Structure 1
């Protein structure tokens, strides 16, 4: 049950949600703007719980997959909505070289390390500070050796909702030792607020993608998109070519090869039925598009409908996957005393 909602300012409200298995209630924050858009956040995993936006007729709906049962957030093996790290995506064989030695990480995806491991940042309680305006900042400390990673890391993520319907995520991190950092949010989008994502139309502003081996680990080769089912340079329905790939889409598209941190247009998503649109702008060099291949209907959404196969999709902006094992990739190594910075903007509209 939720406690009485507390208004922290005109644009942020907070409530506490008792969840079986959590000693302390979940801290849930709601950001709002003059358009009626509402964004719900939680301190567990500095997560994005729900996003309610209007369709072309002004009807609001939740365009994220959100667990109907709060206890599902404690066994979130789909990484629904959480901030994943220290390193997003996969690290091959759960190891990488560092200096004269090698760092061994816990394997949680076959022999590989996925999204920071079984006790990554997405499983932690982050300290929350609301405001100013429609914003909440989450902070988390990760000890030296935490999850196998070297260095004590202080991570920070600010969510900010504008009156122009832009949700900005600003990530910051510092470490006292050289260590890899690559953070992202793992929200599952469904702009129709129900049903499948196969009719959604997607554009990704990339001409290349990373070749993967059978374990979804990059080989180091960048391949051209020409005449492949991964070519989204022109907007097309996700379902058009998805069956040409074994299992569906779970690939990294390369938007920019040098690691330049300037903001750039990454992707654009549209649901033709509702008219809702999502534009993704980021400082990151590429995006992992995942078409919800492992969703199996075993858990339900807030409205009781199952989270079925391909009922949500992820657009994860972050550095190249497995980058610590590929010197030819833009580096994700954070030097001691330096600051990691990442910005991603989700812009909502309907037409």
Structure 2
């Protein structure tokens, strides 16, 4: 069904996935997850009501961000001896693909029954400064066990860098409370310390043990650091993330093929430029590491012709059954 049009006159459609209990609404604008409605009636992601809101008031709510999610230092990287310069849209760095990243593009949709939709965006060579024409596909699938799976695929006709992730803000209280009371477990023994611009510091990932960044055991978001987290965790092989909201009894488990997860607690939402205030939702952005194009010691984010990027992440929900 039509959701509206962009200022350029592009139609934006909404697709609703259902497994008979859960409903997930997705948009062709930004491959956005607009809502996740659980069987008990709660909508557990932050969404916006209009195309205009997503283009002017969003902080990447529910969107697929790219071509490179997270930050690239000074908006510069060198690949095969060629230096590329990207838009500086975040404190002198490039964030989430630049000024007009994948979150602001209208994707082509192909529904697959009532429980899946595939969205495709062709990013032309030079778009936001990135080399190579890239074809990106994102498939949302709602399974019978209340899991929302996101499958990512991409190919390129020239060497490029790529980091696709979904930027949904989750609030398992359905907005009744902020996320500082959510209890989080992240199966990661190391995280990436960052400088003031949120660029990873030189050196290996740091151990979480004995620091406020340790979520190897359950801990409330607001228990330490005033709840202010915006850090990438290096997941254990097969590492999982679990979030529980004790008052409602709702919980979510995240599994991924990616090596890292950016844990962001929404403390920079302001309630003015966006309709949501601080700590209204938390993000679990499964991904390659920030600034990997400039860090050969990190898992590679390079994609070359003849290769296919394939990754997946599943968010599985439970309700009133902790």
Normalised by the size of structure 2, how large is the TM-score?
0.95
User: 2 CA distance for matches of 1:307 and 1:196?
Assistant: 10
Matches within 5 A, 1:163-312: 163-194=144-175, 195-221=177-203, 222-243=205-226, 248-256=228-236, 264-298=238-272, 306-312=275-281
1:220-260 CA-to-partner distances (Å, cap 9, x unmatched) read 331111121110000111110032x7xx100001114xxx7
Matches within 5 A, 1:308-319: 308-319=277-288
Corresponding residue for residue 39 of structure 1: 24
Q: Which ranges in structure 2 are unaligned for 5 or more consecutive residues?
A: none
- 1:25 pairs, out of 4, 11, 23, with 11
State the shift of 1:76 in Å: 4.6
1:148 equivalent in alignment to 2:129:
yes
Matched-pair contact (CA < 8 Å) for 2:28–2:119: yes
Q: Which ranges in structure 1 are unaligned for 5 or more consecutive residues?
A: 1-14, 301-305
Corresponding residue for residue 340 of structure 1: 309
User: 1 CA distance for matches of 2:114 and 2:61?
Assistant: 26
1:159 equivalent in alignment to 2:144:
no
State the shift of 1:21 in Å: 3.1
Deviates more, 1:69-78 or 1:216-225: 69-78
Matched-pair contact (CA < 8 Å) for 1:266–1:287: no
Instruction: Flag the 1:269–1:250 CA change in 2: closer, same or farther, 3 A.
Output: same
1:73 equivalent in alignment to 2:72:
no
Matched-pair contact (CA < 8 Å) for 1:220–1:328: no
Normalised by the size of structure 1, how large is the TM-score?
0.87
State the shift of 1:69 in Å: 4.5
User: 2 CA distance for matches of 1:162 and 1:199?
Assistant: 28
State the shift of 1:337 in Å: 1.9
User: 2 CA distance for matches of 1:148 and 1:293?
Assistant: 30
Equivalenced residue count is 318
Instruction: Flag the 1:169–1:20 CA change in 2: closer, same or farther, 3 A.
Output: closer
Matched residue SS, 1:61: coil
- What is the root-mean-square deviation of aligned Cα atoms in Å? 1.5
- 1:139 pairs, out of 115, 120, 124, with 120
